[in-house]
Amino acid sequence: MNKKDKVNFVIKSLEDLYPTTPIPLDHKDPYTLLIAVLLSAQCTDERVNKITPILFKKANNPNDMIKLSVDQIKEIIRPCGLSPMKSKGIYGLSKMIIEKHEGKVPKNFEDLEAFPSVGHKTASVVMSQAFGVPAFPVDTHIHRLMYRWGLTNGKNVETTEKDAKRLFPEKIWNKLHLQIIYYGREYSPARGWNIEKDFITKKIGRKSFIKKQ
């Protein structure tokens, strides 16, 4: 199976499995999505979705958020981990949104990535899921599966993103990256992986990698 055939198999398989792709993080607008994505770093979506209602009840917009202290934010988001860094980031980006962007989350990568605690992956999620701009956020699931499927060399997430954008049609990026995440969680996890259950990897994966399992 050549690379083009692999890509087509992945697209068809994932579309059959996940015809709809709800966004895993609960939010109501670009700002609350941005905060939720920031909190999701090294934390499960399930835990984030338990914490954000508590935080957003106190502050679901930048103006209310900066009325809280960094310590108050840190205490609320503590269960999400990395709370000292994340609380400073939430406060800092909220202040920047007010001072530099008229209270609205900017709709471009450059401004988003200028925010504290916001990297390219977080910015990509916001651009994709909040604004519908074609992007391909690469999380650990996508990085792992792209390598298992032989579609990237696994060197780093930057290379994986470039390969994904090169191989898959731009018009499906926003849906496909969520489909891959769902598949990774359900069929191809990092731990407790069962190649018999992971039918995509079994069909198109790296032969040398599969034989090790």
CB 117 within 8 A of CB 38: yes
Considering its fold, how many domains does the chain have in total? 2
CATH value at residue 169: 1.10.1670.10
- Whether residue 90 contacts residue 52, with contact meaning beta carbons closer than 8 Å, is answered with no
Domain match, 37 and 125 both: yes
pTM summary value: 0.93
213 residues of the chain, pLDDT tens digit each: 899 999 999 999 999 999 999 999 999 999 999 999 999 999 999 999 999 999 999 999 999 999 999 999 999 999 999 999 999 999 999 999 999 999 999 999 999 999 999 999 999 999 999 999 999 999 999 999 999 999 999 889 999 999 999 999 999 999 999 999 999 999 999 999 999 999 999 999 987 666 555
Among candidate residues 108, 130, 152, the one where a domain is terminated? 130
Query: Is 147 in the same domain as 125?
Result: no
Q: Last residue of a domain, which of 114, 130, 146?
A: 130
Instruction: Report the CATH number at residue 119.
Output: 1.10.340.30
pLDDT for 28 equals 97
Residue 121 annotated in active site = yes
Q: Which of 97, 130, 163 is the last residue of a domain?
A: 130
Alpha-carbon distances, residue 78 vs 75, 82, 147, 184, 207 (angstroms)? 5, 7, 33, 27, 42
- Residue 115 CA to residue 96 CA, distance in Å, equals 7
Active site residue 203: no
Of 139, 162, 175, 202, catalytic? 139
Q: Look at residue 206 in the predicted model and tell me its pLDDT.
A: 84
Instruction: Answer yes or no: are the C-beta atoms of 168 and 7 closer than 8 Å.
Output: yes
| Spatial contact of 62 and 94, defined as CB atoms under 8 Å apart | yes
Q: Are residues 80 and 169 in the same domain?
A: no
**Residues present in the chain in total:** 213
Q: Which residue of the set 86, 121, 163, 198 is catalytic?
A: 121
